[in-house]
Amino acid sequence: MSKVLINFVQDRSGSMASCWDETLSGFRKFVEDMREKGPKDGVEYLFSLTTFDTLVDTPLVAVPIADVDTNVLAEHGPRAGTALYDAVGATIENTSANDRGAEKIICVVVTDGHENSSREWTKDRLYKTVDAKLNLGNWTFVYLGTQPETWDDAGAIGVRAGSTSLYRSDMARAAYGITSAALHEMARSEQMGSDSLFSEHAKADDAAAAGMHVTPAKPSPEPKAGSGPKAP
């Protein structure tokens, strides 16, 4: 059985108030899906939850998915600003210190706005840290945003286009369901990590029906003639 740690980084800033009930429904579906699918497919899921507004809270760190209260997010309602960089940075630090032997590590970032409150992490520092984790091969970062600038915001912290999606806040439950399905497909496969998770593991038609806009991953550039290694 493979062990997979999922870190859910959820925006709870004041602007989330208008869609909070739908967000809570989506969160419950995400946890229920992973709890149900894991044992069937030989995946042991651990779950961490980070919530953020101007401050960052970590209610759960590497807890067995079966022990996660699906209503835990309801205790951390909308308020204040958006310390996105601090939230993702703190999640990476907590995970590095408490991975509980997980073979695959997945970070899901959900936000409806732009960074405006971080005090400890800068964009450049976070980008370098995310990039370093992706280069390890067993880390995956997923970004869900509601703003037209979602891909720019995700790219600014190192998350690739194929793992980023625009979503409709009034359809969060459906979007979280597509996300859980894509994550599980990767988690139960031999693939250790992905920098284009949605484009690899989410069906475009299903994502569109869930109010999501997923950009296909950019193909790797073809090597230029004569640029490869020289023959001995």
- Quick count: other Cβ atoms within 10 Å of Cβ 76? 16
Position 228 scores a pLDDT of 40
Q: Which two tokens stand for residue 64?
A: 């067995």
Q: Is the dihedral of CA 113, 183, 24, 92 positive or negative?
A: negative
Position 12 scores a pLDDT of 97
- Map tokens 């599980």 to a residue: 184
Report the C-alpha gap between 38 and 48 in whole angstroms.
16
- Map tokens 């308020």 to a residue: 79
Q: What's the residue count for the chain? A: 232
Tell which residue, 34, 10, 8, has the closest CA to residue 22. Answer: 10
| Bridge partners, residue 47, by sequence | 6, 63
Enumerate domains of the chain plus CATH numbers.
Answer: 2-214 (3.40.50.410)
pLDDT per residue of the chain (232 residues) written in tens, 0 to 9: 899 999 999 999 999 999 999 999 999 999 999 999 999 999 999 999 999 999 999 999 999 999 999 999 999 999 999 999 999 999 999 999 989 999 999 999 999 989 999 999 999 999 999 999 999 999 999 999 999 999 999 999 999 999 999 999 999 999 999 999 999 999 999 999 999 999 999 999 999 999 999 876 554 444 444 434 333 3
Q: pLDDT, tens digit, for every residue of 127-152?
A: 999 999 999 999 999 999 999 999 99
